[in-house]
Chain A
Amino acid sequence: MNEHVKGPSAPRTLPRESATFDAYTLSEIRRAAATGIYDIRGAGAKRKLPHFDDLLFLGASMSRYPLEGYREKCGTGVVLGDRFAKKPIELKIPITIAGMSFGSLSGPAKEALGRGASAMGTSTTTGDGGMTPEERGHSTKLVYQYLPSRYGMNPDDLRKADAIEVVVGQGAKPGGGGMLLGQKISPRVAKMRTLPEGIDQRSACRHPDWTGPDDLEIKIEELREITDWEKPIYVKVGAARPYYDTALAVKSGADVVVVDGMQGGTAATQEVFIENVGIPTLAAVHQAVKALQDLGMHRKVQLIVSGGIRNGADVAKALALGADAVAIGTAALVALGDNDPRWDAEYEALGTKAGAYDDWHEGRDPAGITTQDPELMKRLDPEIAGRRLANYLSVMTLEAQTIARACGKSHVHNLEPEDLVALTIEAAAMANVPLAGTNWIPGKTGF
């Protein structure tokens, strides 16, 4: 009776891969079993997360008048740090270049960032590892990071900076310190950091001389005293508890708060950290804005949002939710030439492919950006790469203006949550805007 279910032609189910134990997970188990050490990589969270893609603008309609594209002005300027600083920073566009260390990036890559940003009237930021003359020389506005490691920290560079950013955390790794592996600790990097050459270096995750907001307030007072109250002081946090972190940064005397979501890039961190700690950028913006509003400090203390900003729509959405500016890291590197398919053969030789390459810590970047190898570094022409970055920043700005005009705004800062709806319930709840086609904001009273 059952003979037709036997033999080679018998029906059988297809081989089924597990959604839980998918191919990537299996490869990671095998890698861990073979090496005994966690995976370290660059870039941000790669899993799919609720993001700005889940928001839409409504545009103008009967009750809202659009502005004429190309004719009616739509401002993009932003002033950062006018709460306490005598010399606030004035930017022409609301897109800044995030802190990326010399060490993780080559000297020419830092120079290219400075050239591109300066051409567009915006700022760049140093990183863990100090300020290089290339970077200072090519950035008209340079933000100097004050990190737990304090590598290369000195009062002369502090005074040369246009603003100071106290880094409490990064979105890719809230609660984690930096890493720079031996391959990238060249003689120059080692000297700047006062470290032996070629060691695998771990940066501290906690500031050495302050803990908590009460201390931070005194630390900020000291930095202001040293720089005669001239420089804006930013406080950067990884998105974890953005409501409280923003409120505490304001209480500590920050002029500007930077909130970096979990998609935010890193030069080198444990994969498990990148993918599992922190909250998405989308979920952080509203919380940070709410904290500023509750304190009556929205637009008085400026908010910069970063983590996965890719285009003018992302910029416009972050601003509409209440941010004053955004910062970009990964996208800026891609604009310079990172992960470019023209290097595909070399990416393959490294066991990866263009678009997926994230072993930035190994210093073998075919595009010559995340490296200290003199030969690879030469591949990046800082002038051409700077030009590409300027072009890209210009496109993002034009895109954000296009959206703002469509919403009838004469300045990108006039975009507001009212202009937005969400495509998913998650995004509606996180961004505190209604689900498209409804007036439902999950979690709001009355529903």
Chain B
Amino acid sequence: MNASTQSHSFDLSTAKVRDLNAALHALKEGSNASLWRVSNPRGLHALAAGLDAPVTVEIDGPVGYYCAGMNKQATVIVRGNAGVGIGENMMSGRIEVEGDASQAAGATAHGGLLFIRGQAGARCGISMKGVDIVVGGSVGHMSAFMAQAGTLTVLGDAGEALGDSIYEARLYVRGSVKSLGADCVEKEMRDEHKAQVFEKLKAAGLEGQVDPSEFKRYGSARTLYHFHVDNASAY
């Protein structure tokens, strides 16, 4: 059997989440890249969580909470909608949601790419720590709350209080922003930023479909970095 084309299927109407994750965790780094097709996910939780191998997992249908949580190296594709916390704390690799994602997508994630083709709910990219998130549609309220590092690129609109108490993350929004959170301000979109947007769109496979110069950039005004009497209303 040719290992590079080896593909496995897993039917979650008969097998358990535990069996799927155990099998995926057993793959060691350097094991032959393989394709895992998962059917009947039916909104089950923690699917493909904690992976640490360069495999591709295609999940055919909707997933529940924390799909691909803490992902390293793996590519996880969800052919459906995703529940709360898709790709939470991911470190590397790639996660793609073909439908919409619920709250806290990419929460606290450190690295890799999270691409949501549809809309993302509230708190998308909350406390993000270095991940790149690309959202094809809009993001809900309080997105990028306390975002520390990484980029959030939104092709649609952003809800209320975008980037509240943000640190050094960069936010790019193409559409409207309902309101900005505390200490989040619009910043100049220079060439380097357009190049960065281009690069993220390209990573998501959207290059050529949208013009990077249509985006506006938001980031930290850095006025809350030090406790100060005059900021009391923001604490």
Question: A residues within 8 Å of B by Cβ?
Answer: 35-37, 149-150, 153-155, 158, 181-182, 193-196, 199-200, 202, 204, 208-210, 215, 218-219, 221-222, 225-229
Contact = CB atoms under 8 A, between A and B. Distances in A.
A150 B127 contact: yes
Contacts of B91: 154-155
A222 B108 CA distance: 15
Contacts of A194: 110, 129-130, 148-149
B52 interface: yes
B108 A208 contact: yes
B214 to A, nearest CB: 29
Contact of A204 (B45, B64, B127, B168): B127
B66 A154 contact: no
B65 interface: yes
Contact of B46 (A35, A204, A222): A222
Nearest to B127: A208
B22 A228 contact: yes
A193 B108 CA distance: 11
Contacts of B25: 228
Given A149-B127, A196-B167, A225-B17, A181 B66 contact: no
A4 to B, nearest CB: 55
Nearest to A148: B127
A153 B89 contact: yes
B226 A199 contact: yes
Nearest to A225: B46
Given A155-B50, A222-B65, A222-B66, A204 B21 contact: no
A314 B11 CA distance: 54
Given A158-B70, A208-B145, A226-B50, 17 more contacts: A37-B232, A153-B89, A181-B227, A194-B129, A200-B225, A208-B104, A209-B85, A209-B123, A218-B45, A218-B66, A219-B65, A219-B66, A221-B46, A225-B21, A225-B46, A226-B69, A226-B70
Contacts of B103: 209
A36 B233 CA distance: 12
Interface string B1-31: 0000000000000000110011001000000
Contacts of B89: 150, 153-155
Nearest to A35: B229
Classify chain B: how many residues form its interface, as a range: 35 or more
Contacts of A226: 46, 49-50, 69-70
B134 interface: no
28 contacts: A35-B229, A153-B108, A154-B70, A154-B89, A155-B70, A155-B89, A155-B91, A181-B227, A182-B226, A194-B110, A196-B167, A199-B225, A199-B226, A200-B225, A200-B226, A200-B227, A202-B165, A208-B88, A209-B84, A209-B103, A209-B108, A209-B123, A218-B84, A221-B45, A221-B46, A225-B21, A225-B49, A226-B69
Contacts of A219: 65-66
B63 to A, nearest CB: 12
A228 B46 CA distance: 12
Given A194-B129, A200-B227, A225-B17, A210 B85 contact: yes
A208 B124 CA distance: 10
B69 to A, nearest CB: 5
B95 to A, nearest CB: 14
A231 B159 CA distance: 39
A313 B45 CA distance: 45
A218 B226 contact: no
B149 to A, nearest CB: 5
Dominant secondary structure at the A interface: loop
A153 B109 CA distance: 9
B107 A196 contact: no
A226 B110 CA distance: 17
A37 B229 contact: yes
A154 B72 CA distance: 10
Contacts of A154: 70, 89, 91, 110
B148 A195 contact: yes
A202 B167 CA distance: 11
A103 to B, nearest CB: 15
A389 B159 CA distance: 52
B123 to A, nearest CB: 7
A218 B65 CA distance: 7
A202 B224 CA distance: 10
**Most chain B CB inside 10 Å of its own CB: which residue of A199, A215, A222, A227:** A222
Contacts of A155: 50, 52, 70, 72, 89, 91
B126 interface: yes
A213 to B, nearest CB: 14
A155 B108 CA distance: 12
Contacts of B22: 228
A180 to B, nearest CB: 12
Contacts of B168: 196
A417 to B, nearest CB: 40
Interface in B93-109: 103-104, 107-108
B18 A209 contact: no
Nearest to A270: B235
A420 to B, nearest CB: 43
B146 interface: yes
Contacts of B104: 208-209
Interface in B106-161: 107-108, 110, 123, 126-127, 129-130, 145-146, 148-149
A204 B146 contact: yes
Given A36-B232, A155-B52, A225-B50, A208 B126 contact: yes
Contacts of B18: 225, 229
A271 to B, nearest CB: 14
A209 to B, nearest CB: 4
Given A209-B66, A209-B104, A210-B85, A222 B148 contact: no
Contacts of A202: 165
A196 B70 contact: no
A41 to B, nearest CB: 14
B45 to A, nearest CB: 5
- Nearest 3 pairs of A and B residues by beta carbon: A226-B50, A209-B85, A36-B229
